[in-house]
Amino acid sequence: MRRETRALEIRGRRFALGPRTWLMGVINVTPDSFSDGGTYFDTAKAVDRGLELVSQGADIIDVGGESTRPGSRPVPEAEEIGRVVPVIGALRRKTQALLSVDTTKAAVARAALDAGADIVNDTSAFRFDPAMPGVVARSGAGVVLMHMQGTPLTMQQSPRYDDLIGEICDFLAERIRVAEAAGVPGERIIVDPGIGFGKSFDHNLEILRRQELFHGLGRPLLLGFSRKAFLGKILGLPPDERLEGTIAAAVLSVERGAHILRVHDVGPVARAVRSAEAILGAGEDNIGAAAADADGKAGHVR
């Protein structure tokens, strides 16, 4: 296993990413998500799902109130706040797991951080809202900077690249510089090449095949491939039947050194990931952590 250890600082806490793969569990508090179609649009159901994901081994719970599926349109700021803040607030009272808010809006991020979020997962990498870098910098929160060509409304309209990996790396390096200039230290930044965001079927496969090249950015690497359309094309199946494809991508990503995997089906993916780590020689400490997870003693970051 070639995972390089990266330091990550989140609101005064320091973590070493590398000894084992972290899992980010997904909660879509939306009526129109591509993957779960509004299953967790109700606040109580979303909170219960978050706690379930923690019990299954999620290190981070990522709560989003605006769909970023291809062709989706923005949600009004107040409505997005109304969706995510009650969920984050309730989860903060019930779990010590790291909480992330999936948003491109500074006001939503600020409200979520005030409610107890630890990370801002910004799919625009600070491009859509000029106030976002300042909000993140002042909060001490971690941030995920993701590559996207276009916007969710336009991103799948014939995406083109001359040098896919090079262009994504250049983009992410530039966004890291923007974040650092705004006062966000490098150790608080996670990078995501944006599988499915302005990428064709072949682009997505190339990112997975060559993902180790993103380690040159020097920051923890997050990948989000769970249930996505390219897996549906391979399998000929709808989103809720793409678990095997998700697991295959997860095991490959473990072997190639990804630090964080953003997934919907935490339980089965966690079992596959821990098995892959043991086979690849993650070490006794990692195997012991997995055993503790099974006993319900180490299911989340403390």
pLDDT digits (tens, 9 = 90+) for 52-66: 999 999 999 999 999
pLDDT digits (tens, 9 = 90+) for 167-183: 999 999 999 999 999 99
> Helix 243-255 vs helix 266-280: angle between axes, to the nearest 10 degrees?
30
Burial class (CB in 10 A: 0-12, 13-18, 19+), 285: exposed
C-alpha pair distances (Å), 256 with each of 135, 211, 215: 33, 7, 10
**What's the mean pLDDT in 42-47?**
92
Domains of the chain: 6-294 (3.20.20.20)
Using an 8 Å Cβ cutoff, are 257 and 220 in contact?
no
The one catalytic residue among 110, 199, 242, 262: 262
pLDDT digits (tens, 9 = 90+) for 249-270: 999 999 999 999 999 999 999 9
Of 67-81, 99-113, 122-136, 245-259, the range with the lowest mean pLDDT is 67-81
Using an 8 Å Cβ cutoff, are 21 and 259 in contact?
yes
Read off the amino acid at residue 54: V
The one catalytic residue among 3, 20, 228, 274: 228
State the chain's mean pLDDT as an integer.
90
Report the pLDDT value the prediction gives residue 288, as an integer from 0 to 100. Answer: 36
2 is catalytic: no
262 is catalytic: yes
Alpha-carbon distance of 61 to 23, in angstroms, equals: 9
